[in-house]
Chains A and B, each alone.
Chain A
Amino acid sequence: MAVAASRRLHDGTVCFVGIGLPSKAANLARATHAPGCVLIYESGTIGAKPLNLPLSIGDGELAETADAVVGVPEIFAYWLQAGRIDVGFLGAAQIDRHGNLNSTVIGDYDHPRVRLPGGGGAPEIAASCKETLVILKQSPRTFVERLDFRTSVGFGDGPGSRERLGLRGRGVTAVITDLGELEPDPETCELTLARIHPGVTVEQATAATGWPLGVRADIEQSTPPSERELEALRALRTADEREPAG
């Protein structure tokens, strides 16, 4: 997943990154084909170049290697809201066919089965980045017919929704999963299977989706990770993995 996501970043792409797989993918891109990829973490670090993968979005290494460090009101207002970010990376607990995301609660809001951390930066990342990439393991529990809570907007209720809501970015351009990659249909804005990973069948992908998943006529096979990508991936470690156990 990290490899597939990293390939969607280009040299010079300005990228708003969260912790976990997004951070791994963005740093992998920087270590391989896109050394000039600009990483922005919501802690206010612009152009961070960490050697270790950070455990939190505010690790000291991000501040030390950044081109600039700004406050949180500034990162969201001057940088994200102003439309200066090319790609925003998001994960979630649930996604629907229009790429809307839930990272707030499973179950009823007032009596939740699972209280999740909440939106954080996600609602405005999904609104204002020029495009949004979602990284998420595919299963019927996460790819659902109906979200329990809409934390971030993909294509809302379908074509025209983003324009009506005044959202300036293009919305979700790809959902990268452990089985393949989904892309929105240009007319219906519905996520359809566009690429499948080696060894995975279309049936597996449709079975792991809670809505009747459309399959693109020109569906492609993903290129397996190259030696260079795998080597770079192995070299990326979180800061805590480098410390002696404590």
Chain B
Amino acid sequence: MAEIVTLEEGIAELVSDGDTVALEGFTHLIPHAAGHELIRQGRRGLTLIRLTPDVIYDQLIGAGCAAKLVFSWGGNPGVGSLHRLREAVEHGWPEPLELEEHSHAGMAAAYAAGAASLPFAVLRGYAGTDLPGHTTVRFIDCPFTGERLAAVRALRPDVGIVHAQRADRQGNVQLWGISGVQKEAVLASARSLVTVEEIVDELEPVPGAIILPGWVVTAVAAAPGGAHPSYVHGYYERDNAFYMRWDAISRDREVFGEWIREHVLEAAG
């Protein structure tokens, strides 16, 4: 059964410096509060995995938590560049950032292979692009038809962190709406932390909801509002204005540092 913990305890117990950590959530349910806790606890040298590193990864990278990024699209959706990510890649500030770059299809397949405990995934992809030089893809021949296919190494993070609507007191997690790769990220990871809007006595069924049974989750922490500025279907909407404001905040090292100090380091967990 998943242990019910505070967010501070969850990050302290599950994530060490140098770990490979996947914080997932596809536009919806992005675990911002957990990311902020990683910054507050000063984690260093992390390999961060995520299909769409957006504002929360910009913050983690700018705060110096990351040594390597495994990703497929790094931008501020509908707005533009991630300026902290760009500064790390283009100028090595505050730390040089190693990149392992995929396509969405490749990363999604690699998570699915990780969840299935397979060493790799097979897909039609990457052929003819310059991506194979910057990722872990190989090409193999189908043993049945001879078709040339791409193989990507399974993703097996040390820790998978996702946000969900709610959990019960046994740590069973209920998640609905756009579900991204969260189920795969939790099942592929050696340890997992799920932050939730609320912990309830009983989970009422919701059509189309995913349940992560408490026995596949390591820890659950309540973090109301923990996906903001992303959204939580049924709880609150996406703060589009924040994503637009982030462009100006993140453009300048000083302004960014001030923002992190005020909203993360000096904010209660």
Contacts and interface: CB of A to CB of B under 8 A. Distances in A.
B90 A124 contact: no
Nearest to A109: B134
A158 interface: no
A45 interface: yes
Given A120-B72, A120-B104, A150 B180 contact: no
B180 A43 contact: yes
Contacts of B241: 240, 243, 245-246
Contacts of A127: 124-125, 127
Band of interface residues on B? 35 or more
Interface stretch (A53-61, A178-186, A202-210, A220-228): A53-61
B178 A69 contact: yes
Interface string B75-89: 101100110011001
Contacts of A239: 240
Contacts of B112: 73, 77
Contacts of A132: none
B251 interface: no
A35 interface: no
| Most chain A beta carbons < 10 A, residue from B72, B123, B178 | B178
Given A60-B233, A120-B104, A166-B148, A115 B124 contact: no
Interface in A232-246: 238-240, 243, 245-246
A44 interface: yes
B222 interface: no
Contacts of A44: 26, 178-180
A73 B123 CA distance: 11
A226 to B, nearest CB: 28
Contacts of B103: 119-124
Interface in B124-163: 124-131, 133-134, 147-148
Interface in A24-44: 42-44
A55 B73 contact: no
A49 to B, nearest CB: 15
| Most chain B beta carbons < 10 A, residue from A44, A117, A238 | A117
B107 to A, nearest CB: 9
B238 A60 contact: yes
B79 to A, nearest CB: 8
Contact of B73 (A69, A117, A150): A117
A69 B52 contact: no
Contacts of A55: 77-78, 238, 240, 243
A71 B105 CA distance: 12
Contact of A76 (B90, B105, B148, B208): B105
Nearest to B115: A73
Contacts of B231: 60
Given A55-B78, A112-B89, A240-B241, A119 B73 contact: yes
Nearest to A149: B130
Given A43-B180, A117-B75, A118-B74, A81 B28 contact: no
Per CB-CB distance, the 9 closest pairs between chain A and chain B, nearest first, are A58-B27, A120-B73, A117-B75, A56-B77, A76-B105, A55-B78, A153-B128, A73-B108, A124-B105
17 contacts: A43-B28, A44-B178, A58-B180, A63-B177, A69-B179, A77-B105, A81-B124, A118-B101, A119-B102, A121-B103, A121-B105, A150-B129, A153-B128, A153-B129, A156-B128, A161-B128, A165-B127
Interface of A: 19-20, 42-45, 54-60, 62-63, 69, 71-73, 76-77, 80-81, 104, 109, 112-124, 127-128, 149-153, 156, 161-162, 165-168, 238-240, 243, 245-246
